[in-house]
Structure 1
Amino acid sequence: MLDTHARKYVQPTIEKTARVFLKIGWSANHVTWGAFLVGASSGVFIYMQQPLIAILVLWISGFLDAVDGTMARLSKPSLWGTVLDITFDRIVEISVIVGLAFAFPASQWALLLLSVSIILSMTIFLTVGAVSEKKGMKTFYYQAGLAERTEGFIFFSLMTLFSDYLILFTILFFLVELFTAGQRLMEARKILSE
């Protein structure tokens, strides 16, 4: 929801950063790799009981993830870049979940449920993107929903910072993901029946 509706407020900063990176000769894929490497370290920092560093690298990764997409649109989007971007985004999320699961074993059952809900929601998202003829500003049809990447990062940050309430935040995130999956499924039925 925030990615769709609040992006306009941060887009000028994202675009300025994208133009600087393009000017110094970086490609969108270079930034995608950078976002991946920075973001994937978040789970390690969570496990090492360094929550502030974990959250910092997670959000830097998220910012770079927005920058690489803008860079692609300002230059030449590539389908390979889209595959890398979506794959690396999931690996960063997996890193956070695995880091939390190893650091807080009692929460593993809730983190497993969360993982299942993310898989379900992303399966619908990616399938609709693949079969839909509609295209947005991305290389595929982007289904908005209650839980998009920013909401996920907010939940991951709360889960990491307030580990005493990890199971509560994880269950809330799980329910939001399930709701989002339902939203996306209903929208898919509508747009694919047209």
Structure 2
Amino acid sequence: MFDALLRPIIDKPLNSTARQIVKTNLSANAITWGGFFIGLGAALSIAQGSFLFGLILIATNRIFDGLDGAVARLRGPTDFGGYLDIVLDFLFYSSIPFAFVVYDQSINGFAGAFLIFSFMGTGSSFLAYAIMAEKHKVTTDIRGRKSFYYLGGLTEGTETIAAFFVFCLWPEQFYWLALLFGTLCWVTTSIRILAAKNSFS
């Protein structure tokens, strides 16, 4: 919901940093992988109860996620780069609720499983719409130039990371917070299915 609003704010510092990176041999895909492993470090920290350190690593992961796209736009995006970015993003997203389950399965197990289940709805509705948008030659640059169509919703990347921050700041409330955010994910999935029906019927 807020991704498009944040683009003008975050693009300037990301593009400035990316211009320095392209002077080196560091590739956009290497940044993508680096961010992914930092994200897994966040999940490992959370699973061990280091929630604030996990929050810092989540924030770092998101910086890397923005930088890889900025570097790719300067060097020329590739289909594999776009594919790798979205696959590793979804794996990272799922790793955080999984980490809270590992930390305390008896309390967080149901809510964590429900949230991962909900992510399947937002993820599949997002990717399926992108496939159909490509088939129908539908494009948008509202979230910056991307490798494929980005369909919005109530729970986009910004809201998901904000939820992760809240989880880390109040881990004892993860059960109820995860149920709430998972429910919002189902609202997003429903909105996207309706959008697909209106666009592709």
Which TM bucket (shorter chain)? over 0.9
Letter in 1 for 2:17: T
| Structure 1 residue 138 displacement after superposition | 1.1
Task: Determine the C-alpha separation between the residues in 1 that align with 2:67 and 2:3.
Answer: 13
| Structure 1 residue 35 displacement after superposition | 0.8
Task: Determine the C-alpha separation between the residues in 2 that align with 1:22 and 1:186.
Answer: 41
Task: Determine the C-alpha separation between the residues in 1 that align with 2:39 and 2:16.
Answer: 21
Letter in 2 for 1:169: L
**Does structure 1 residue 128 correspond to structure 2 residue 125?**
no
Letter in 2 for 1:121: T
Unpaired runs of 5+ residues, structure 2, are none
Unpaired runs of 5+ residues, structure 1, are none
**Does structure 1 residue 186 correspond to structure 2 residue 187?**
no
**Does structure 1 residue 116 correspond to structure 2 residue 117?**
yes
| TM-score under structure 2 length normalisation | 0.91
Match of 1:138 in 2: 146
| Structure 1 residue 8 displacement after superposition | 0.9
Total equivalences in the alignment: 193
Match of 2:41 in 1: 41
**Does structure 1 residue 79 correspond to structure 2 residue 87?**
no
Q: Which runs of 4+ in 1 moved over 6 A?
A: none
**Cα RMSD over matched residues?**
1.2
| Structure 1 residue 99 displacement after superposition | 1.0
Letter in 2 for 1:134: V
Written as runs of structure 1 = structure 2, the 5 A alignment for 1:1-194 is 1-105=1-105, 106-132=107-133, 133-136=137-140, 137-193=145-201
Contact 1:41 1:95 in 2 (8 A): no
Contact 1:124 1:184 in 2 (8 A): yes
Contact 1:111 1:170 in 2 (8 A): yes
Task: Determine the C-alpha separation between the residues in 2 that align with 1:74 and 1:176.
Answer: 35
Question: Which deviates further from its counterpart, 27-36 or 17-26?
Answer: 17-26
| Structure 1 residue 191 displacement after superposition | 2.1
Task: Determine the C-alpha separation between the residues in 2 that align with 1:112 and 1:166.
Answer: 12
- The percent of aligned pairs where both chains have the same amino acid is 27
| Structure 1 residue 94 displacement after superposition | 2.1
